A and B are shown apart, each in its own frame.
Chain A
Amino acid sequence: MFGYILKRIGVAFLTILLIMVITFLLMNAIPGSPFLTEKSTPEMIARANAKYGLDKPLIVQLGNYILNYLKGDLGTSLKMQEGTAVTKIIFQEGKFALSFRLGVCAVIVAVIIGIPLGCLAAYNRGKWIDSVLRVITTLGVAVPSFVLCALLLIFLGVKLNWVPVISGSLGTFKSYIAPVLGLSFYPMCYIAKLTRTSMLDAINQDYIRTARAKGLKTRVIIFKHALRNSMIPVITYLGPMTAGIVTGGFVVEQTFQIPGLGKYFISSILNRDYPIIMATTVVLATLVILMNLVVDIAYKLVDPRISLTKKGEN
């Protein structure tokens, strides 16, 4: 158990390191200098390079970056907000907090709506309600998030005028509705599908037959006995879901004009502000990898039947 956790932490660190190296090398593979503008002279570029430590050999720069990262320093913006520390831009100006709030809301909505929907479908298996839910969830995992977000924008925002068209910095409750819905719809449908499948698997188990033989009500059997044991796949999905929410955030923040980290990441890419691209990539990647780590360890703790030492296929 302890060995397994250590191993997973090791892989997670290696992955973060790998991402840093990859992003760093990719960034430096781009021809030209970030300081190259129409007016800049070679001396100015050299001075700027010296100022930001870009004149040193690559390996030294990389080492410095990793050391600074461990100290919590992510470098300085070169273009978009020149001279400002990236950590300040990301954490103190509320960008991270905004995206984080949105993401957490979406996770909560996806879980607390998705699981009951899956139970409902399993409970009414083969009836009309199951068919309706199956159509909705199948469609839900096929609609690209940007199409869904745009539809929400048109119908809820423009046609019905229920929610503001520009969500901004999520000041009011209403401004949450459309972005959270857009962000949580895919995971919600996926969770509902997962829950239904694993619930139907669980129903065929022996202990359910025992419970039924004891004369328990179907409702009790489903929600007390079957649900608990069918939660494992859902917990496993929480890791990939975080990654999905992070990437979904790019689209949602773009569509609803929320100045969060995702929107900032995209505009830093389009503006080629390399330290910001690198910092946001590393921060988001760390978040996703940590979440995967936590989920992997958690679900092995939750289900004692899963052997930690035996190697599965995955």
Chain B
Amino acid sequence: MKGFNLFQLNVDRIPGYDALGPEDFASATAEEREAMVESRASVSYWRDAARRFKANKVSMAALALFLLIFLFSYLGPLFIPYNYSDQYRGSGKLGPGEYSKAEQIIKKAEGQCDGFFATALIPGSLTNLSRNTTYYFKYNGTTYSFYNESAVSNAVLLFSASSSTPLSLITESDLDAGNMEKAEPLQFSTGAVDTSDLNTQELKLIKRVFPHIFGTDSSGRDLMARTMYGGRVSIAVGIIAALIVLIIGSVYGSVSGLAGGRVDFVMMRIVDIIYSVPDVLIVLLLQVVLKAPLQAWLDASATDFARLMSNLGVGIISIFITFAALYWVGMSRIVRGQVLQLKEQEFVTAANALGVPGRRIVKRHLLPNCVGQLIIATCLQIPSAIFLESFLSFLGLGVSIPMTSLGSLCSDALDTITLYPYRLLFPGIILTLLVLSLNLVGDGIRDALDPRLKK
């Protein structure tokens, strides 16, 4: 370091008093001062790890990628008008970025009306009142009814820009002909219908049509919406399963490590046996067996917990159960190893000597020291849980329709792979990127928290 050398005494060149110039009395530069500092403020373990993680470009890029997929899955549905379970009539089998026939016509009409409501795009709401002649709908608080001779199954209602009242109705035949000029202005009557006993939904005006960016499936469901929801399910399953593994594994491992002796021996032999069970076979079996009893339990019980669980679906719960039953063994081994190592440390002996109860020793002294290892193992557990869930869904044992996950999307796509390869491509790519990014983030966290393990 240049600055440092300045302050080393150079015996060959001790300048005489006369030889000193004014520059020799200039105050030290920042660089020179820095070189003289001998002790620095201590950096905490976590800040040091964070610095190491930030310096790792690959893991930072992977983290960004993961956040991108996370936002796509969790915030994406807010920005598209489609839902994962709605089947849009006439929109089946569309390629990426395509519009259905009805949507194309609406696109043409976009300049001429303020908005539209299309039965083909949002199911329900436009309700047949008296055997396919009179229809009614609710808009802006008013109930409108109109008369139409033919059945209105695939119709588009246009709304004018100025009056915000319904303007005209385009029926299927008009759609087929492709000319909306033909559409007659509707004769509406308002308020005359008693709809109290019918469950009417307020019409939601759509301002513009949105392309099916990932295409649609054979039943007319938007694949982008399904991919987003599938991503949600996959990420949630991965994180929750990893947390289950973390809790069970760390409790079991610390008890085993702390107890030692015969208890430890028996507990570890149990772990050995579970460890050598071929997991996927048992998981597949559990999936089949758990389904019926779980469904029965969910149907019978009316607690909030059961309601929450039934929203998730039987398939996902049995995935959690299998994780709780089989996958904690790896974690428990790691925790036990750590506890065994830490148990012999002086600070634990000191705590023991002071009469600290065992539970408090675990909580205050042992677990905080294992945190690094626990985080590493949990992070690497998430992608493997996502992998397993998608594998089960692919084999038709995971989530059930209309709920979806990335794996079941791929599985659905396989039936029509030769005709519509893109149906597999989008969820497949997202799944791969998700697992890839989580793997790399996990590796990065491992390198940052425990540089000795660096590969």
State the Cβ distance, A261 to closest chain B Cβ, in Å.
12
**Contact B432 A139, beta carbon cutoff 8 Å:** yes
Tell whether B276 is near chain A: CB-to-CB under 8 Å.
yes
Q: Which residues of A in the span 29-64 have a Cβ within 8 Å of any Cβ on B?
A: 29-32
Instruction: Please give, as numbers and ranges, the residues of chain B lying within 8 Å of A265 by CB-CB distance.
Output: 284
Find A285's partner among B278, B337, B417 (CB 8 Å cutoff): B278
| Among candidates B277, B286, B394, residue contacting A146 with C-beta atoms closer than 8 Å | B394
In the complex, per-residue mask of A238-251: 1 if CB is within 8 Å of any chain B CB, else 0:
00000100110011
User: Residues of B contacting A254 with CB < 8 Å?
Assistant: 395, 414
Report yes or no: A19 in contact with B424, Cβ–Cβ below 8 A. Answer: no
Q: Does B333 contact A (CB under 8 A)?
A: yes
Interface residues of A in 1-52 (CB under 8 A from B): 11-12, 14-15, 18-19, 22-23, 26-27, 29-32
Contact partner of A139 (CB less than 8 A), chosen from B272, B421, B436, is B436
Query: Are A146 and B276 in contact, CB atoms less than 8 angstroms apart?
Result: no
A25 CB to nearest B CB, Å = 9
**Docked complex: A141-155 residues within 8 A CB-CB of B:** 141-147, 150-151, 153-154
Do B276 and A144 touch (CB < 8 A)?
no
On whether the beta carbons of B273 and A150 are closer than 8 Å, the reply is no
- Chain A residues with a Cβ closer than 8 Å to the other chain, count: 51
Is B428 a contact of A22 with CB atoms below 8 Å?
no
Query: Cβ of B387 and Cβ of A144 under 8 Å apart?
Result: yes
Assess whether B371 is interfacial by the CB under 8 Å rule: no
B396 at interface, CB cutoff 8 A: yes
With A150-B424, A247-B280 as contacts: A26 and B337 at CB distance below 8 Å = no
> Interface size (B, Cβ < 8 Å)?
47
Q: Are B421 and A154 closer than 8 Å at their CB atoms?
A: yes
Considering the chains assembled together, what is the distance between the CA atoms of A204 and B286 in angstroms?
47
Are B273 and A138 in touch, CB under 8 angstroms? no
Within B64-113, the residues touching A (CB, 8 Å) are: none
Chain A residue with Cβ nearest B287: A269
- With A150-B410, A269-B288 known to touch, is A141 a contact of B439 (CB < 8 Å)? yes
Is residue A277 within 8 Å, beta carbon to beta carbon, of the partner chain? yes
Interface flags, B362-397, vs A, CB<8A=1, else 0: 000000000000000000000100010011001111
B61 beta carbon closer than 8 Å to chain A: no
Residues in chain B near residue A277, CB distance under 8 A: 285, 288
A206 interfacial by beta-carbon distance below 8 Å: no
**CB contact under 8 A between A144 and B272, given known A251-B394, A281-B281:** no
Residues of B close to A169: CB separation below 8 A: none
B182 sits at the interface (CB 8 A): no
CB proximity of B28 to chain A, nearest CB, Å: 40
**Please, what's the 1-or-0 string for B283-301, where 1 marks a CB less than 8 Å from any CB in chain A?**
0111111001100100000
Q: Which residues of B393-434 are within 8 A (CB) of A?
A: 394-397, 407, 410-411, 413-414, 417-418, 421, 424, 428, 431-433
Which one, B287, B428, B435, contacts A150 given CB within 8 A? Answer: B428
**With a CB–CB cut-off of 8 A, which chain B residues contact A15?**
273, 276-277
Q: B455's closest neighbor in chain A, by CB?
A: A197
Partner of B333, one of A31, A246, A288, A313: A313
Nearest A residue to B334 via CB reads: A313
B433 contacts across to A, CB distance below 8 A: 142
Chain A positions within 8 Å of B285 at CB level: 22-23, 26, 269, 277, 281
> Are the CB atoms of B281 and A284 closer together than 8 Å?
yes
Mark B251-292 against chain A: 1 for CB-CB distance below 8 A, else 0. 000000000000000000100110011111110111111001
- Report the separation of the CA atoms of residues A254 and B440 in the bound assembly, to the nearest whole angstrom: 30
Question: Within the assembled complex, what's the spacing in Å between the Cα atoms of A138 and B293?
Answer: 40
- A147 and B397 in contact, given A29-B293, A31-B292 (Cβ under 8 angstroms): no
List CB contacts (< 8 Å) of B284-333 with chain A: 284-289, 292-293, 296, 333
Q: From A31, A144, A292, give the contact of B391 (CB < 8 A).
A: A144
Contact partners of B436 in chain A: CB under 8 A: 138-139, 142
In whole angstroms, what is the CA distance A243 to B275 when docked? 12
B126 → chain A, closest Cβ, in Å? Answer: 39
Q: Are A144 and B288 CB-contacts (below 8 A) given A138-B440, A289-B278?
A: no
Pick from B276, B284, B413, B421: contact of A12, CB under 8 Å:
B276
| CB atoms of A289 and B288 under 8 A apart | no
Q: Are A313 and B337 in contact (CB under 8 A)?
A: yes
**A32, A139, A142, A272 interface centre (most CB from chain B within 10 Å):** A142
Near B by CB (< 8 A), chain A positions 212-249 give 243, 246-247
Interface hits, A293-314 → B, CB 8 Å:
313-314
A158 at the interface (CB under 8 A from B): yes
Q: Which residues of A have CB within 8 Å of B395?
A: 250-251, 254, 266
16 sampled A-B residue pairs with Cβ under 8 A: A11-B273, A18-B277, A26-B285, A138-B440, A144-B390, A144-B391, A144-B428, A144-B435, A146-B391, A147-B424, A150-B410, A150-B424, A158-B417, A158-B421, A251-B395, A277-B288
